[in-house]
Each structure stands twice: as C-alpha cells, then as structure tokens.
Structure 1
C-alpha cells in the first residue's frame, strides 16, 4: 500500500470556488479515513486556487481542510478563464490579448502575493504556477527567448516567496530549479511571511490595460479550434505554437471571443469584432490549420467537428460554463 511505502493518498483539488466546497471535500476525506480505519489527517491535499471567487476565500478554504491540507497552488490559466467567465457580462472587464495577460499584470501579481502571504501565515505551502513554454527545436533564437521567459517567471515566483512551482516540460526543470535554489536555499520559504504585502479586492479586480488585436483574435481562434480537435482525439495537453496548451488555455480563448463579440469590442485598428469579422477570420485560420502538419494530433473530421463546436459556443447567446461539457456530449453521441 501507499502507507507501507512511506507515501499516502495525496490529492489535488481543482476548481473550488468557496469554503463550502472545501468543507464538503473535508467530509469526504473524513468519511474515507473512518471507513478504512486510517488516522485523521492521513489523506493530504493541495487546493488549486484557480477561480476568482476562491481568491477571496483562501483563509476559509485552509481552515475547512486544516486536518488535510498541505498548501495552495496558483492555477494561473484557469484563474484567467474564471475571471473572464465571472465578469462576462461586464464590458469594463474585457481583457486584452491573451498573450499580454501575464503574471506580471497587477491583478495576477496581487493574486500570487496574496496566496503566498495567506499560506505562510497559516504554515501551508504556496506553490507557483505553470510556465507554458516548451523547448523549441531548430530555432536557437526562439528557444533562447522562450527559456528566458521561463527563467524570469520562476525568478519572480521564487523571489516573491513561493515554495515550489510547475513547468510544462521536463526540459525546463533545471531552469526552474536554478532560480529556486538561488532564492530558496532551504526546503521551503515558510519564513517569508510577506507582511509588507497588502492586497485589496480592488487589486484582485484591476483589469489590465492593453489592445485587442487581429493577432490576438487569430491566436484565440487557432488555439481554440486546434485544442478542441486534439481533445476530441483523446489528447488533454497539446503542444501548439511552441506552448503547451490545455483545456484552460482553450477556455480562455473561447471565453474571450464570446465576451469580445458580446460587447462589440474593437480591434486596435478600429474594426468591430462582429459576427462577419469573426467568421471570416475563423475560416482563414481553419484553412491554415488544414494546410499544416497536424496528423499526429487529430484528423480532418475531428478538426471540422471542433470548428463546428467552437463556432457554436462562440456565437451562443449565453457563455457555456465549460467547453468540455458539450464536447463530452459529442463524444458520447459518436457511433462506436
């Protein structure tokens, strides 16, 4: 068993929005331990803070799971998706191009610092987020630029006080480790209490400035359609355009497109993001994807199914909670 091997039942809990959900999970863990005759606290858990609502209840989540929780983790991509989704009906909460919404932006930096301060005050670990870059073969300049982004991201996390981090590719572990070794000579940074940090609701809700561009429109369409096609083909994490994309980044793409269209957002060149422009750009991107080498990820039928689904979701009168719910329905409906 895990316990006999010096390990144990360890869980990551994603998508929590409030302390009541944390309380329910605690009840599940207590029941399981009692049923199996395990001491209280045998089950250990880390909670991903990846929704905007959970960012306001980190203390309460730690309290509800106090007998089992090890730490909190910044789930940065789902957090951005949650931000868009929760404020989808407010034009003043539209974000700029996804590529410009980085962890150095005030609302994301504030969320990271608040997580560190909250965790360390309670003796819990504060885990950083995932750098999405992956090694780029055959282009030394592009690869060097990508690796520098990873290094800078991990330097920011380590110097802020995080106790650990994620990367999207094993080839990046050494880069992340070097930065954490520099700023964290011990096994953690629980002594970094960040009493200098004072984060308000306004900090967490400060919308970053920046343009919405044709490039950003195309990226959302390209990544969203390709990821959905790969998902329908059975892949959960997909390397696209030198980044490791997962459901969260596809959700950002979908939610941004829905919100931009719903509020008739303007590109930086003055064009309105209306149905005609979005559809025309979508079909151009679809043609480009079809002409590219994607056979290892999905076939043409899956690409067309992804386009149909993505288009339906973008132009729906209401934003679907998750991309994967209608996608699952399509998988179930397919003949065996």
Structure 2
C-alpha cells in the first residue's frame, strides 16, 4: 500500500526525500552510536564536561550568528500546541508572536494525524501574506527528533528517519510559498545533544533545500535546549548553525527528564516530586543562566520554558492561581534576561507577555534588538559542571502521593496517546510525551534506589504493582478502552522495572502504536525506493 507521504508529496518530493535520507542516514546512525557510548561512560562514573577539542570555538569572541529575519525579531510569547486544526485556530486568535506547530511530543504520529498536521501547516503557511491583523503569529514547526523513525516509508528497505520525513515534507509543501509571502520556513529543533548533531541538522537542511530547489540557507531554526549534554555544547551548537539559528529555548521538563536519564542511576541524584521544586533551584537556575548568557554573547534570542499548567473555563479561584503562578514564573525569566517565553495554552498568552513588556518599558529597551546589543560586551560563558549537577538542596521530597500521581497521569496519557490524543489536561496540568517521560523516569529512579516516601512506605515492585492495580481500576471505571489500557500498563511497567530504562519511551510506544494500527487494519506502508 502507499505511504501517507504519497498523499502529501509528488514524485519529485518523494525522490528528494529518498535522496536526503540516503545522504544523511550514515551520519545519523553514527550520532546515535555516539549517544549510547557517552551514556555508557557516564553510567561507568564519567561526568559530562566541556569538549577540549572545541575550545577554540568557545574562546573565539568574534563570531556571531546571522541576524534573524524580520518576523522573528519580536518573540515575547511563543505558543506551542499540537499541529491540529483546532489548535491552529486557537493559536491564530491568541495574540501570540509565534505559533510552534508541534509534530513531536504533542502529536501522535499516525498516518492520518500526520497528514492532517501537514495540511493544517500548509493552510496556515498559505495565509501569511496580506493579513491586516497586527499579531498574526509567525509559523514555526517542531519536527520529530533524530532518534525517532518513520515506519510508513522505507528507503532501501529501512524506515526513513522521522526528522527527514517531517522536514522534507514541510519544505516541499510550504517552503517556496512562505518565501513568496515575505516570510520563510522556520523550524524548532528538538532533543539536540552536541555540536555534531547540530551540524547534522544543518546538513539535512542544506541537502533538502538543494533537492527541492529552494534558496540555500532559507530555512531558519531555533533550538530547544532539552538535554543535559547540550548545555556543555551550546556554543558549538550555535556555531554549527550560525547561518540559520535565531534562538535557544529552555525545554524545562524535558531537561529534568534528561538529567534523570543521565544521572538517575546515582543515588545522590534522586529527585523529589515534580511539583516540589521550581526553576529557582540551583541546577535549573544554572542551566537557564548558561542559556541566557550564551545567547546574548552570540546575538541570539533566549526563550524561556513553559509551565505545564492549563487555564480554561470560567475565571474562578483556580484559574486566578494559575495566572499568578505563570506571571511569577515569567517575571523571573524576564528579570533573568530571557527575551521571551513559551506557553502551552492560548489563555495564558497575555499573562506570559505582560512581564516582558513591563521589563522592556521600564528599561526603555527595544525588544527587537536588546539581545543583539549585549553580545559585544558579554564575557566568555563559564559552565560550572558541579552547579549543573547539584540537586542536593532541592526542596520537597518524594511522596507516595507523587508516585500515585505519576502513575495515574502516565497511564491516562499513554492510553489516550494510543487512541490518538497527543496532549491531555490531567489534574490541571497539560501533559505531553515529554512530561510522561519525566514521570516514568522518576518512578524508575525511586524503584531503583528503594526510595522511602514521606508517608513511610518504601518504593518496591510490590508497592508499584499494588498502586498500579488501583490506578488501572480507576482509569477503567472512567471508560478507557481495555486493550489500549493494557498496552499502556505494559509499556509503563516494563520501563519502570527495567534494569536499564529505555532512553526514550516514545520509541517503544511507537512500536506499540504500529501494532495497534495493524490490528485495526490501518497501517500504511510504502517505499520511496
């Protein structure tokens, strides 16, 4: 059967996709091996550190990134949602400066949903010209990370990489049209770890532009700083992408997940409940300070991370509390030097905007260029590995309630994800695959180190199974589909009790999704070669 991509791309587009996949595949596979090698070394006791081989890049104070295009110079608020028609409608009317159409953590990668996502993106891209509204958001697309496959199209009998599928499809369908409309194709790159990986993305974009007949360098990117490894390579990442990059964004919960994935096997890195600590804690504040200072040294915008809180319904006490928490968080980021911030809910756009506008108004600063003016005087950024690893003074503790909440939210989300829902509001939080990755790693860590909860019990397989049984019964009573719930239970439990947890549960979940699709007779295969 044909791949869903044959509905989105013509023969020339499919030929370009196959060519780009063939040319970028060997290096991508090498980079994945490099990730595993580094992970094994850290497991054996090695600590992450700056790369001596790239010292010259960091110490050279003369280089800067290319100036951003005009419609990416004012980015006080960026709204990230799944790339769906409903989310697009909400984003276009929210007053945000940027809409990030997410194809990764917030979208279930079924053929039907990916097809619909690319159609929505193309519709939004086609409406960029001549719109009189002052705050029609700039479109950015977040493709899937280089660790993810796209099983619905084969090149040389192997699945293409998801980022190749997403990027080539977006550029083929929207690239020239966006340029004709006075903007351009803009991407948010996820899950980068090193300058070498950034160079791979740059090569992917260069080859895609050439294969599709687009102007060289027309694709501009921002980078989500979502991994512990990337903080030691921010200057290298910016240098590799210096002709394309326009911003670095703090992916806070993915970063905490990465911290656990990197150091979770060490007992002294056991974290409390997710909601027990804030961005003011030492290891997270150090992370954000490195981002801000690196950005401003090189002439790049620093974008703060979102709080995973939902704000909907009538304005009552709970909504007011959510607004207050978001305002405090954005005021902290504005004071710290961030140039704007992400949010995940349209209703929170004006709440997130206010602290940055107040900061710039009081300072008499031009929000479109303040970050470029600082680069000339910004000293070399000092990366303190000890501070980046220091979780010793985190407030709060691990609790049985937190463990139960992590199980409930993960099971609820995974069951819904297998049914096609990429985001879910659970207990007032907007959950996506990134927050579930964090939850399951916390569960794994508490089990691996036999953590004693504040209420008294010690985490064990027996306790896990007892609470898991309770939570499954609760979700079942709420009407969950039994087969999907059982898949979710197996996915989560296997990841939590594993001696070595999977690097990304999303990879295993994708395999289950393919199985579910096959059983429903909806899996679309295909070959581009």
Which aligned pairs between 1:54-203 and structure 2 lie closer than 5 A? 54-137=230-313, 140-185=316-361, 186-188=366-368, 189-190=370-371, 191=373, 199-203=383-387
The alignment status of 1:303 with 2:485, answered yes or no, reads: yes
Classify 1:257/1:233 alpha carbon distance in 2 versus 1 (closer, same or farther; 3 Å): same
Q: What's the CA shift string for 1:5-29, capped at 9, x where partnerless?
A: 0111211110011111011111222
Tell me whether 1:287 sits opposite 2:463 in the alignment: no
Q: 2:455 matched to 1:269?
A: yes
Question: Which has more radius of gyration?
Answer: 2
Contact 1:133–1:147, Cα closer than 8 Å, also in 2: no
Residue 168 of structure 2 corresponds to residue 17 of structure 1 = no
CA distance in 2, matches of 1:178, 1:203: 31
Q: Please list every run of 5 or more consecutive structure 1 residues that lacks an aligned counterpart in the other structure.
A: none
Find runs of 4+ consecutive structure 1 residues off by over 3 angstroms: 33-40, 136-139, 191-199
Q: Distance in 2 between matches of 1:287 and 1:139?
A: 33
1:101, CA displacement in angstroms?
Answer: 3.2
Q: Match of 1:331?
A: 513
CA contact (8 A) 1:95 1:256 kept: yes
**With structure 2 as the length reference, what TM-score do the two structures score?**
0.60
Q: Is the 8 A contact 1:136 1:142 kept in 2?
A: no
State the match for 2:87 in structure 1: none
CA contact (8 A) 1:223 1:250 kept: yes
- Give me the whole-angstrom Cα distance separating, in 2, the residues matched to 1:328 and 1:13: 20
Distance 1:126 1:148 in 2: 23
Are residues 1:41 and 2:221 paired?
no
Question: What RMSD in Å do the two structures reach over aligned CA positions?
Answer: 2.0
Q: What 5-or-longer segments of structure 2 have no aligned partner?
A: 1-176, 522-529
- More RCO (CA 8 Å, sep 6+): 2
Evaluate the alpha carbon distance shift between residue 137 and residue 9 of structure 1 in structure 2; reply closer, same or farther with a 3 A threshold: closer
The equivalent residue for 1:6 is: 182
